[in-house]
Structure 1
Amino acid sequence: MTVTFFRHGVASGDPLPTAVVLWTRVTPTASATPGSGRGPRAEVSWVVALDRAFRRVVRRGTATTSAAQDHTVKVDVTGLAPGTTYYYRFSYQRKRSTTGRTRTAPATNAAPARMRFGVVSCANYEAGYFSAYRHLAQQQVDVVLHLGDYIYEYGTGEYAMGQKNVVVRQADPTHEIVSLSDYRRRHALYKTDPDLQTLHRSVPFICTWDDHESANDAWLQGAENHDPATEGSWAARRAAAYRAYDEWMPVRLSGTARLGDGTQIYRRFTFGRLAELSMLDLRSYRTAPGGAFTQVPSRDDAGRKIAGDDQIAWLKRGLSTTASQWKLVGNPVMISPVLVPPLPNRVRDGLQDSIGLLPAEGVQYNTDQWDGYTVERRQVLEHLADQNITDTVFLTGDIHSAWACDLPTDPGTYPFSTTVGTELVCTSVTSNNLKDILGAPPRTASVGVEEAIKTANRHVKHLDFDNHGFSVLDVTPARVQMDWYVISSRADRAATASWSTSYEVPASAQKVRKVSQPTTGASA
């Protein structure tokens, strides 16, 4: 039964064929609140079974926690069977947590007929209710991919709902989070959300961070939303953010569920011979961002990094060597070029050589994504082309809108240039989109912007700047299909959800294609 000892729910994550991370937070005394640094050491028991009644127990153990880890509990349970559903729960002083459900990945050499992934990003607590999470929990997915902005760092009213920053529900703490205690409290607030709790106890998560887990537009040595004069050292703030994330999320950092052993979150998951997933970190290693007209113009400049040399090499190596058919890339920010204008490579280079007016790949409308780091993007896309790698699909969050794109090597000559992959972008759970920022009715002002972007960038096949919700990615040997679902109102705790549109990527096609209905049913 649910008791106040486990008021932050349970969660699981990072499923491997024989292991999965289990998570909870125990509140052993009334004073042991998140971020308080108070409360005694507590020994928490855990158990894993093949049935919800826990008659067929397969693993059990204990874990000790304290204020040093904010009374969070993370256990990497090993020795499990591949492709198997398990149930788990925790107990403290003979009181039990809620029961969670999780599932291991298929065996490495297995050939699953189907895998289903929930895809979400950008959940701003003050901007609305997390109804999208509740509805996703009903979709019978194997894993949820959270592509970043799991929490937001702002103070109350700084970034809430719409033009007027309406606070749908108040954050804790109410000031912008900077210290370790602050980040712990904000994570704890999110973990009390009933819809997020429902999703976490229903299915394992695979997560990466974007910027708001630390601060807006974060990079290696700073962030747009960090002022050293009033908020201290960026290194100290980022270390606090990463520590709280490690404590409060069911993830392995630097390969383990132990705390404090590293901050590497880019990692890889294999789902038999059907799919391999590479989750990227595009904040920890990036160099300083620049505006659309301040990007270093030389196409040979290797100084601008979004992923860093080691991660780029790791990504390319995985894309080349995997035995899995589908190469899925969990990608916090968009990689598809969105340019004004997208000139053919030959024309662009001629203009650059003669007048030096335009940045190397044209004027980008958002240099916070891969458009601002074109050298590393070219390395990835040219690697896909040179190695004849097919069936690569980038799965992306961050931009609070839905996109379906082909990935051409030369966007200026598309559709006649080589296409080396595709990108599918999910909407935000609650964070403001273009409609919200403009204060316009649905399907009015946004439509013209969408059509202008698609006209100038012909590889962009679908764009929706108006809705919030979640996506479901259905993977079979024949195709990958993304179904977008939208919620009726983020200001309504009881919001409904409805299907919006679907696009598929047929095997070996390297292009997206609209389809007429969503997928249904459980995975194979």
Structure 2
Amino acid sequence: MTASRSFPPPGPSGTVLPRRQLLRSAGVFAAAATLPGLLATGTPAQAAAAGFFRHGVASGDPYPHSVLLWTRLTPADSAMPGSGAGADSRVRWEVSRNADFTGLVGQGWAETGAWRDHTVKVVAAGLEPATTYWYRFRFGQEYSSVGRTRTAPAAGAAVDRLRMGVVSCANYQAGYFAAYRHLADRGDLDLVLHLGDYLYEYAPGEYQARDVVVRAQDPAVEMTTLAHYRRRHAQYKSDPDLQALHAAAPFVVTWDDHESANDAWSGGAQNHTEPAEGTWQERSGFAQQAYAEWMPVRYEPGGQLYRRLEFGSLASLSMLDLRSYRSQQADSQLAPAIDDPDRTITGAEQMDWLLAGLSNDAPQWKLVGNPVMITPVRFPSTLNTQEMHALSELLGDRNIDGVPYNVDQWDGYVADRNQVLRHLRDNAVTDTVFLTGDIHSGWACDLPVDPLTYPLNGRSAATELVCTSVTSDNLDDILRVPERTASLTVESGIRTLNPHVKYLDFDSHGFSVLEVTPAEVRMDWYRLADRTDPASATSRTASWTVAAGTQKVRPASGGILS
């Protein structure tokens, strides 16, 4: 298991915090000692009826012997997220094998305060592998809600099955999080894989559901400051369905662009204007600090988000960061720039780390948490003007010679993609599956080394399974047409031009369920009946599998039963 790295949290402009605050941070992240006779410092201030733990509980990054636990304390009504107010406080945490907390297996104290927006992150260590635990927090006499988590299997242990929810692109303004509710209700997930765009930076009315704001975001401005990012994270974690899913299973997360700003790259973003919105270094630093505070992830600002988790002998899960190190997206009118070997989406160090992990013979399945699509896709020039514009908007308003092009995804960084796929081919690496979000649509694809001659050469180096958006607009929404009408023509044209694309759904909102066994990796796609209805029903729309050793996707019947 790859060890996590902890770093001193930066101040608002990226400077290192004073020693007193640094020691607090270290204390929060350490697995605290058991101190049964110790009282919380000070007397809890009077809080509103909502209580001290208004943003739920969460866990993340499960290792065989530890898991990260998270909550947010509201010690007083004045200590609201992003306020910078509120006294330093100590929170008790408890871990038990039983839901009624008889027989604790771990407990301790964590210190928090306005310096980390009163969020709490602790690593509960000394746990048993492949074991379900329950956890909670206490402040004064009040307990938080109870969360369920599960540790990873021991290194090298035989594992029959790994099951996870897979989600991406949850826009609060565009609908309700019924997809999270349905996943939480399953009760059979070992973890939840969130592939990015956990939240969106836009102001109310800037990006919503077919131009209708279903739920206005807070604050009522585009996020640019630390207070903005903290408040938006808090609003999302106030959602009852998201709280329920966090409490049901540990999350493994990475970010895409909207956690900071649209089409972010190492030196800026499409949705960032200097000097009106400050420097990109400042803004991205605020986004990273709030993410570290509010997400159940073993990450602190200044460290690296990419990391690898292992699940016995069955699977490794390499989580990529494809925003922090990438070169600026290619100019839409300069197609040759996408082939420039000096341009990168991963950065050199992350690429070396990824290739080394893919070359590891054990575990069997090499799963890659991939924020943006790696499948090469050519878009048909035969689409009508309306379809072409809609597809361009879905891809980020990028086109080359009038044809939409994926320059924000691996298609815009051909040298890096070629390096990965040729490494897989030349080293005879099998059972690599990229798990992807971002593009607000469902895909099942073979990954050919040479897409122009596929399938005649029959060489697929890996596969890719892409989940659709939880709520964010997709093609039928942009076209303002009923679901499964105009999109069918676009999907057919793409599959014809790209025979390695086996499944494509440009219209559904929802979630996926992934099951990994020694014999296969299987994904089920589920669509919501109505993303604007908090009680929306759901239905399974497709199932595809990757049989061990094949590097190819194929359709499957039936569904993964909870």
- Correspondence for 1:321: 360
Which of 402, 425, 428 aligns to 2:469? It is 428
1:148 aligns with 2:196: yes
Name the SS of the counterpart of 1:4 in structure 2. coil
Q: Does the CA-based 8 Å contact 2:338-2:407 persist in structure 1?
A: no
Q: CA deviation at 1:292?
A: 4.2
Deviations 1:324-364 (A, max 9, x none): 1100000000000002479xxxxxxxxxxxxxxxx99x977
- Correspondence for 1:9: 56
Q: CA deviation at 1:138?
A: 2.2
Q: TM-score, normalised to structure 1's length?
A: 0.92
1:272 aligns with 2:272: no
Q: Does the CA-based 8 Å contact 2:172-2:236 persist in structure 1?
A: yes
Which of 385, 391, 397 aligns to 2:437? It is 397
Matched letter for residue 281 of structure 2: A
CA distance in 1, matches of 2:257, 2:501: 25
Once the two structures are superposed, the pairs formed by residues 152-231 of structure 1 within 5 Å of their partners are 152-162=200-210, 165-231=211-277
CA distance in 2, matches of 1:70, 1:292: 40
Deviations 1:391-411 (A, max 9, x none): 000000000000000000111
1:335 aligns with 2:374: yes
- Correspondence for 2:387: none
CA distance in 2, matches of 1:285, 1:296: 21
1:407 aligns with 2:447: yes
Q: CA deviation at 1:296?
A: 3.3
Deviations 1:433-487 (A, max 9, x none): 0010110111111000000000000000000011100000011000000000111
Q: Does the CA-based 8 Å contact 1:406-1:422 persist in structure 2?
A: yes
Q: TM-score, normalised to structure 2's length?
A: 0.86
Name the SS of the counterpart of 1:312 in structure 2. helix
Q: Does the CA-based 8 Å contact 1:3-1:97 persist in structure 2?
A: no
Q: CA deviation at 1:207?
A: 0.1
Deviations 1:387-429 (A, max 9, x none): 0000000000000000000000111111123100000000000
Once the two structures are superposed, the pairs formed by residues 38-53 of structure 1 within 5 Å of their partners are 38-53=85-100
**Unmatched segments (≥5 aa) in structure 2:** 1-48, 382-398
CA distance in 2, matches of 1:291, 1:482: 35
CA distance in 1, matches of 2:379, 2:245: 40
- Correspondence for 1:354: none
Name the SS of the counterpart of 2:336 in structure 1. coil
Measured on the aligned residues, the alpha-carbon RMSD in Å equals 1.6
Q: Which runs of 4+ in 1 moved over 6 A?
A: none
Q: CA deviation at 1:229?
A: 2.7
CA distance in 2, matches of 1:248, 1:372: 31
Q: Does the CA-based 8 Å contact 1:23-1:72 persist in structure 2?
A: yes
**Unmatched segments (≥5 aa) in structure 1:** 254-258, 343-358
CA distance in 2, matches of 1:178, 1:192: 21
CA distance in 2, matches of 1:489, 1:278: 33
Which of 545, 557, 562 aligns to 1:504? It is 545
CA distance in 1, matches of 2:505, 2:338: 33
Q: Does the CA-based 8 Å contact 2:338-2:413 persist in structure 1?
A: no
1:106 aligns with 2:153: yes
CA distance in 1, matches of 2:103, 2:443: 44
Change (3 A) 1:364 1:111: farther
Q: Does the CA-based 8 Å contact 2:167-2:512 persist in structure 1?
A: yes
Q: Does the CA-based 8 Å contact 2:331-2:337 persist in structure 1?
A: no
Q: Does the CA-based 8 Å contact 1:276-1:322 persist in structure 2?
A: no
Once the two structures are superposed, the pairs formed by residues 445-484 of structure 1 within 5 Å of their partners are 445-484=486-525
Deviations 1:173-218 (A, max 9, x none): 0100100000000000000000000000000000000000000000
CA distance in 1, matches of 2:227, 2:338: 44
Name the SS of the counterpart of 1:238 in structure 2. helix
**Once the two structures are aligned, what percentage of the paired residues are identical?**
59
Q: CA deviation at 1:130?
A: 0.4
- Correspondence for 1:288: 328
Q: Does the CA-based 8 Å contact 1:3-1:96 persist in structure 2?
A: no
CA distance in 2, matches of 1:341, 1:487: 29
Name the SS of the counterpart of 1:376 in structure 2. helix
